[in-house]
Amino acid sequence: MRSLLTRRNLLGHMATGMSAAALASLLEQDGLTAESANSLPHFPPKAKRIIYLFQSGAPSQMDLFDYKPKLADLRGTELPDSIRQGQRLTGMTSRQTSFPIAPSKFRFAQHGQSRAWVSDLLPHTAGVVDDLCFIKSLHTEAINHDPAITFFQTGAQLAGRPSIGSWLAYGLGNESRDLPAFVVLVSQGSGNMADQPLYDRLWGSGFLPTKYQGVKFRAGGDPVLFLSNPPGIDASARRQQLDDLARLNQLKLDEVGDAEIATRISQYELAFRMQTSVPELADLSGEDAKTLATYGPEVQRPGSYAHNCLLARRLAERGVRFVQLFHRGWDQHTKLPQQIEGQCRDTDQPTATLIADLKQRGLLEDTLVVWGGEFGRTVYCQGKLTADDYGRDHHPRCFTVWLAGAGVKAGTSFGQTDDFSYNIAADDVHVHDFHATILHLLGIDHTRLTFRFQGRDFRLTDVHGKLVKEVLA
């Protein structure tokens, strides 16, 4: 224990539920935190950073990547009980008396040397399939959006755990002096405009020190709140204020030894540097016209998915450890054909261009790109099945995600589903396995990245997770 952490201060922390930051300060002397107990990375990493393209709302795997040609002959017939196997349904379809099979209305074709099946909804993604590694047998435990998204971000369905970006910032630190280690960008799709909300806790640090939480960039005004100086305050005055404030905070830090005070000092300094780095980052005037055109017509609109994809590349260039894009609008219980077309128009060209742009600049060699949602969609129709319209309910039993970049076996597909894209037929991958594999690519043994909180060692993968070696190059 630090000598400056007095008995009175310790009891005060305990009386209010000792903060994770203060607890971490105590445990450092006992070698119980990841930063002191482990030498990170644990082994040479393939990736230095991640760009995670999270498609919030759950894309329909069988309308995009999981081609099931036999369903065409079964259109409108009842999903066999032998396939459903009594699996639970959401409240939105549990009272349906009929579960008619709804084949995808979109055409599929094989692309690239890998001969990967891709829907005609994604012509640009089809052009980069040889850089992608599909996992078609992912499954999760959650059946509703909020716990499912929380599970993907934190490894637990209940709120309060650190997000994956916070774990990486905590374990690996930051390569950039002038930008946060963990940046979040959010866009609204043109599919389901009333999609479920996204909460700031999804990029929170949980019980980790708060300096590891994600920083959300906004679409309008200052990209980060309170970035600009108020009227009448110039840079020199701001510098003097921060210096005076740092001295006051240092006096309190010396008195109580609370790591949150050290966080505050460092974050004020980072915010000061961001007053220069963030406007430069957001200024696209230095991008050539050809590059801007390849990201699509929406690239110049702040807050669009295309704009955020370009910002993600610029953030990766500047050493940001974890960039998370959330794109809402994939929750298509009704009018799926119409809504999914809008979502794919939003995302297809910018996503494919991001892969190609990173590759052209040599960044794909040490950047891991992840694409996927929180679960899949059902093969049976929610609501009325018509000649050209259908909806799909939530389906946690099997769905598709893909990886690209550093350390990934490009041009491959792992895992299989049955003929109904309803159950896993081979090579299941749990969310904890997925997280373990992502951490491995960054040089982290997922069992060793831990943080002690309330008497227990926590980790992103809880007490589970196995490495999916088959997707590694």
Spatial separation of the C-alpha atoms in residues 181 and 422, rounded to whole Å:
38
Task: Look at residue 455 and tell me whether its pLDDT is greater than 60.
Answer: yes
pLDDT at 160 (0 to 100) = 95
Whether residue 400 contacts residue 372, with contact meaning beta carbons closer than 8 Å, is answered with yes
Residues 6+ apart with CB under 8 A from 14: none
Whether residue 325 contacts residue 308, with contact meaning beta carbons closer than 8 Å, is answered with yes
Residues 6+ apart with CB under 8 A from 162: 154, 170, 204, 205, 206, 207, 208, 212, 451, 460
Residues 6+ apart with CB under 8 A from 293: none
Spatial separation of the C-alpha atoms in residues 102 and 383, rounded to whole Å:
11
Q: What is the mean pLDDT of the chain?
A: 90
Whether residue 215 contacts residue 333, with contact meaning beta carbons closer than 8 Å, is answered with no
Please name which of 343, 361, 460 lies closest in space to residue 405, comparing C-alpha atoms. Answer: 361
DSSP 301-335: STTSHHHHHHHHHHHHHTT-SEEEEEEE----SS-
Spatial separation of the C-alpha atoms in residues 448 and 469, rounded to whole Å:
18
| The two three-digit tokens of residue 414, written as one number | 């792992």
Q: Is residue 4 part of a domain?
A: no
Burial class (CB in 10 A: 0-12, 13-18, 19+), 401: buried
Q: Is residue 30 part of a domain?
A: no
Q: How far apart are the first and last CA of the chain?
A: 44
Q: Which of 20-29, 80-89, 311-320 is least confident?
A: 20-29
Model pLDDT for residues 251-294, shown as the tens digit of each residue: 888 888 887 888 777 777 777 777 888 889 999 999 999 999 99
Whether residue 349 contacts residue 306, with contact meaning beta carbons closer than 8 Å, is answered with yes
Q: What is the CATH number of the domain that holds 397?
A: 3.40.720
User: 321: number of CA atoms within 13 Å, CB side?
Assistant: 23
Q: Is residue 317 part of a domain?
A: yes
Adjacent-strand bridge partners of 116: 111
Q: Is residue 15 part of a domain?
A: no
Q: Is residue 20 part of a domain?
A: no
CA 307 distance to own-chain centroid: 17
The DSSP element (H or E) to which 132 belongs, if any, is strand 132-139
Contacts 24+ apart (CB under 8 A), 5-12: 5/256, 5/257, 6/256, 9/255, 9/256, 9/257, 9/258
Whether residue 382 contacts residue 333, with contact meaning beta carbons closer than 8 Å, is answered with yes
Number of structural domains (the chain) is 1
Whether residue 144 contacts residue 152, with contact meaning beta carbons closer than 8 Å, is answered with no
Q: Is residue 16 part of a domain?
A: no
Q: Is residue 240 part of a domain?
A: no
Range of the domain at 356: 47-227+292-471
Q: Is residue 348 part of a domain?
A: yes
Task: Look at residue 31 and tell me whether its pLDDT is greater than 70.
Answer: no
Model pLDDT for residues 96-122, shown as the tens digit of each residue: 999 999 999 999 999 999 999 999 999
The DSSP element (H or E) to which 417 belongs, if any, is strand 416-417
Whether residue 396 contacts residue 148, with contact meaning beta carbons closer than 8 Å, is answered with yes
Average pLDDT over residues 305-318: 98
**Would the pTM of this model clear 0.85, i.e. be above it?**
yes
Model pLDDT for residues 45-55, shown as the tens digit of each residue: 999 999 999 99
Model pLDDT for residues 328-356, shown as the tens digit of each residue: 999 999 999 999 999 999 999 999 999 99
Q: How many CB atoms lie within 10 A of CB 282?
A: 15
Residues recorded for the chain? 473
Residues 6+ apart with CB under 8 A from 309: 53, 295, 299, 325, 350, 351, 353, 354
Spatial separation of the C-alpha atoms in residues 22 and 366, rounded to whole Å:
34
Burial class (CB in 10 A: 0-12, 13-18, 19+), 53: buried
Model pLDDT for residues 40-78, shown as the tens digit of each residue: 999 999 999 999 999 999 999 999 999 999 999 999 999
Strand 182-188 relative to strand 108-111, pairing: unpaired
241: helix, strand or coil: helix
Residues 6+ apart with CB under 8 A from 97: none
